[in-house]
Chain A
Amino acid sequence: MDLETALSASVQLDRREGILRGALLRRRAELRKSWKHLISSECLESLGTIAPEVESFLSGQGSIHDWRPAAPFTWINCDASFLDCLRAISLARKVEYRSSDTSPARLSPLELNKLSNNERLKTLCARYRCPLNIGAASESDVAEELLRQLMVRDRAKLEAGEEFDVDMILLKLNLVGIHAMITRDLRFLDALNYFYELPRRSLRRLRASPRFLAFWLCIYAQLLCTPDW
């Protein structure tokens, strides 16, 4: 590559980054104004003690936390429960964890898909008790499968107004969002963009699972403020 081509490619990339950053920040500003259309006051009330934190997080300027570990990690162990960890991550708080050199036995997407919805939810919550593990290299097959399900089957169901498992879809959106935070993979971020852009009547059905819905929007808010895509 000659110098002129290299410079032109670099200028093009800078321009792309500028346009992308602008679009993400505009979406963040829009989310700041419109999140109450998604999380109704009853929904917010049902969040209990975390409601004020969620409200200030979504309405605020947007704190972010770089969730990428300093070095590539095999697995992360933590003492907190799945929901506590997810809450801490979504609200950009500190998560106490210890790195481990060994990961649990591989979970194949085929095995995962053989389970009933309920069993799948339990399996994912147990395996990703520390949800940051969805960003581990060993979990890329599972993350890809969750992305595929969201963007093919689940998306089609929501668009067609069919019945769907609210908890499962929101759990996938949370995990896919966390994967995006760690890997900076634009496809995973765009799955959240796509779902956020679905008609409001489809999204209002997600209120059936207020916690997962609030955590998803907080994770999305962080992703929109993340500078280095």
Chain B
Amino acid sequence: MRAAVLAGSIKTGIRIAEEIENLPGVDVFIVVCNVGMRSPLLRWSRELLSTLKSLKWWPLATKGYSYAQQGRLIILHRPLDDATSIERLRALQCDVGLHAANVIYREPTISSFRLGILNAHIGILPKYRGRCVAEWSVLQGDPTGVTVFFIDSGIDTGGRIILREFIPSKGWKRVGALKNMLFGCDACLYRKALEALMQPGVRFDSNDVSMGQRYYLMSKMFSYVVNKVL
């Protein structure tokens, strides 16, 4: 199986790639998107700063160099849904894309991957779609966790769910820390999802949107309530 990590930075791409590169039968590529269409100077300064801040700059640089040498590190300069970017994605002939960039995917980008693009959504689908779903789950007394599913061009409406991982909020005192922990589960859950996809006769759960609701940014007042509830 060929998988491409669609990342907002080389560092993020490598973090996820490292988790899945040792899976038998998986070829990993890292596609770095230019999120927010930053100028080259700003983009590479941020990249450099984030690498230096991680205190692991040497292993990161070595890994990045190794991926680049093997032709597995693709840097996109144009927007992801630009025709030239889509052509480059198609040329990779990947089965699956792994979402790790703050971008919106349009249909041509999604269909550049044989099976589609996976998203590790920090809420339990189908009940919690949209934004701030970890907070809303806590506020409404529901379990927190992550759902890995194939996206479509809607907001968390893609119909095929690969896995749901219930991760309790117990022990987390601040919602920001809880969310960071949930976001940080993406690499491990993508690995589990790829393992599941490689099983013969893989079956998907349905993401029935009528069983849930779309959530939006949470007010300061409700965020305060969530922090108190935690």
0 or 1 for each of A172-199: is its CB under 8 Å from B? (1 = yes): 0000000000000011001101101100
Q: Judging by beta carbons under 8 Å apart, are B225 and A19 in contact?
A: yes
CA distance A144 to B214 in the complex (A): 9
B136, B141, B217: which contacts A9 (Cβ < 8 A)? B141
0 or 1 for each of B185-221: is its CB under 8 Å from A? (1 = yes): 0000000000000000000000000000111111111
Residue of B nearest to A193 (CB): B219
0 or 1 for each of A1-44: is its CB under 8 Å from B? (1 = yes): 00000000100110110011001100100000000000000000
Q: Judging by beta carbons under 8 Å apart, are B225 and A155 in contact?
A: no
Residue of A nearest to B228 (CB): A19
Interface size on A, residues (CB 8 A): 24
Interface size on B, residues (CB 8 A): 18
Q: Judging by beta carbons under 8 Å apart, are B220 and A197 in contact?
A: yes
Q: Judging by beta carbons under 8 Å apart, are B225 and A23 in contact?
A: yes
CB-defined A-B contacts under 8 Å, sample of 30:
A9-B141, A12-B141, A16-B141, A16-B225, A19-B228, A19-B229, A20-B139, A20-B225, A23-B222, A23-B228, A27-B221, A148-B216, A155-B217, A186-B140, A186-B222, A187-B215, A187-B216, A190-B218, A190-B219, A190-B222, A193-B219, A193-B220, A193-B221, A194-B216, A194-B217, A194-B218, A194-B219, A196-B219, A197-B220, A197-B221
Residues of chain B touching chain A, judged by Cβ–Cβ distance below 8 Å, are 136, 139-141, 213-222, 224-225, 228-229
Residues of chain A touching chain B, judged by Cβ–Cβ distance below 8 Å, are 9, 12-13, 15-16, 19-20, 23-24, 27, 144, 147-148, 151-152, 155, 186-187, 190-191, 193-194, 196-197
